[in-house]
Amino acid sequence: MTLTQTPRDARSNRPAAFPGEPGLWFFLFADMTLFACLFGVVVYIRDDQPEVFAPSQAALSQTLGLVNTLLLLTGSLLVALGVNALRGGPGRVDRMFAGGIACGAAFLGVKVLEWGHAIADGHTASTNDFFSAYYMLTGIHLAHVTIGLGVLIAMYRNVRSPNVRRNLVEGGACYWHLVDLLWVVLFPLVYLMPAG
């Protein structure tokens, strides 16, 4: 059996055996593995430098981190409902994707606000190892959010066109969920995990 979608997937409204393109999953797993290593770095810094980790973490806003978590989870829900609507489920696909785009844009806004406060308080990437890891992790994640927003906009335009490309929509949705998936680990590790 090859890593291709079966004819059943193309004809039916059921979820595909490989949502999106099968090759996309190699990329998604590689990305998830990279982040798993970066998460390990955060746990290492917590153990190695608790005297640096605790006060640095306290300088972050846990509430803004929670707000961003809720924004991404809601964006993911809307995108999942949009994919379901594309298969004949309730709701309008384009409106669901527009809601997902709004959630992603709001995440960017909150992150810019958060970084602005941190930099204004004198916490930059060169301050200590915690902030190096913080800016690296949230920066790479922010790049994913930005790319994901571009993908969502492409999906929005596609579902409003006469030629809907289901693979594009399902694959794009999986990428957006990846952005969410990475954040739900990043948030507790960086913002909530107690040190000492």
Partner 1 sequence: MTTALRTPAGISWLVLVGLSLLSYWVGTDHGLDNKDAACAALIAVAVGKVYLIGAEFMELRHADVRLRRGFQVYCAILATGLIGMLFVL
8 A C-beta contact, residue 145 and residue 76:
no
**Site membership for partner 1, residue 196 (CB under 8 A):** yes
Q: Which is nearer to partner 1, 12 or 124 (CB)?
A: 12
DSSP 91: S
Closest CA to 130 of 42, 36, 38: 42
Question: Which of 76, 127, 138, 158 touches partner 1 by CB under 8 A?
Answer: 76
Among 71, 79, 151, 169, binds partner 1 (CB under 8 A): 79
**Span 42-61, contacts to partner 1 by CB under 8 A:** 43-44, 46-48
Site for partner 1 in 82-101 (CB under 8 A): 83-84, 89-91
Contact between 190 and 64 (Cβ < 8 Å): no
Cβ–Cβ under 8 Å, residues 148 and 130 = no
User: For partner 1, what does the binding mask look like between residues 10 and 49, x meaning CB under 8 A?
Assistant: ----xxxxxx-----x---x--xx--x--xx--xx-xxx-
The span from the CA of 128 to the CA of 13, in Å, is 51
Q: Do 178 and 29 meet the contact criterion of CB atoms below 8 Å apart?
A: no
Backbone angles phi, psi at 160, to 5 degrees: -90, -5
Binding mask 163-182 for partner 1 (x = CB under 8 A): -------x--xx--xx-xx-
In angstroms, the CA 43 to CA 60 distance is 17
Give the footprint of partner 1 on this chain (CB under 8 A). Answer: 14-19, 25, 29, 32-33, 36, 39-40, 43-44, 46-48, 62, 66, 69-70, 73-74, 76-77, 79-81, 83-84, 89-91, 170, 173-174, 177-178, 180-181, 184-185, 187-189, 191-196
